[in-house]
Amino acid sequence: MGRQSRNFASRDQKRVHASFTRLPPTTAAPEGVCIGPGGPLPPFLMDGPQLWKRAIERFELDLRGDVVLTEAATGAFVCTPLVAALAGAERVIALGADSRFGPFAEVREGLASLASRLGVADRLEIRKGRPREAYAAADLVTNLGFVRPLDAETVGALRPGTVIALMWEPWELRPEELDVPACRERGIAVIGTNEREPRLRTFEAVAQSVAKLLLDHGIGLSEARVLVLGRGVFPDATLPALRAAGARAEAYAGEGAPPSGAYDAIVCLEHHDWETPLVGAGGWIDSDTEVATELLLHVCGRLDPDAVSGRGWRLVPAEPAPPGRMSFTTAVLGPEPVVDLHTAGLRVASAYRRGETAVLEQLALPVWPERFEERLA
């Protein structure tokens, strides 16, 4: 275990391995990096404006006449208000706050600088906190960090007919962050994004992220024995990608005989069951499970860090995200997967407002109304 490099058995394996190692380091688009005024763009944003404009064209995003409420974020996630403004939104309100990703003052300064470079500063408002009037003004609302929670009180500030872009698939919805019954009562549509749509292929990006993270943390893929803990689309996409790179990858979903033996790496990739620990007392791997590894890579799923430490395993990251959230996003590949996903999220909300049935059928997944034919007036 812990081998830094391997001899690849085939030309295909070399090609797959190279496709990951050519990518920037996992800090290429760090969420905690703000953009200061003037001077050159950080490396991870050097191609940002081109990516944003290309995504707008790819998804045919046209927000003219709309007021968009979204977040003021950092790293790859800085894109959302800028994409909305570049797509012609009449007004974009970006909400932010002091956080572990950076002080609000720096975020506001950097975002304003980017907006000025792009010629959209006159249509972008950057606000601290969650002022009620910002929600009342919106036509489109993105279900993103500093905009949440969209609880009953907040939904009550929205105008009937406002559309909330869930920004991912409905099965990923966290009820404590978005009150769908309150939206139903208020006449607020909630529209998810089909992340399997060919222009997005988000789950392929998740698989590529896992492969890249393993490489970045010293696990060569060819012949590596990798155990993926999880069920559903994340493992379903990740196992073929790891095997294509030469890994001996297998999955365990908490049922049947538990895994055993030594693995080069174990990957936590469970995004459905947020209650049962993947590793820990009463979990999928407990104290009686005879399994060993040097590296436990946490992407998502409930985890007991003390149980991991007690086994002497190296945990990445040292402080994993809580259940329902991800320790690493597809931003480890660079900003493009985030830009595409957020642009698509804006597009499905816009399509619902405009009654673009063909777009909805291809790119959107309904949360409420449950059928797109039931468009609200």
pLDDT tens sequence across 142-188: 999 999 999 999 999 999 999 999 999 999 999 999 999 999 999 99
Taking only the tens place, the pLDDT of each residue in 319-374 is 999 999 999 999 999 999 999 999 999 999 999 999 999 999 999 999 999 887 66
Q: What is the pLDDT of residue 14?
A: 39
What pLDDT is recorded for position 101? 87
Can you give the pTM of this predicted structure?
0.88
Residue 133: other Cβ atoms inside 10 A: 10
**pLDDT tens string 188-212:** 999 999 999 999 999 999 999 999 9
Structure confidence at residue 19 (pLDDT): 37
Phi, psi of 21 (to 5 degrees): -75, -20
pLDDT in tens, 62-119: 999 999 999 999 888 999 999 999 999 999 999 999 998 889 999 999 999 999 999 9
Q: Look over the chain and give the mean of its residue pLDDT values, rounded to a whole number.
A: 88
- Calpha distance 224→208 (Å, rounded): 16
Q: Write down all domains in the chain, each with its CATH number in brackets.
A: 43-198+334-374 (3.40.50.720), 202-333 (3.40.50.720)
The string of DSSP codes covering 15-70 is HHHHHHHTSPPTTSS-TT----SSSPPPGGGTTHHHHHHHHHHHTT---BT-EEEE
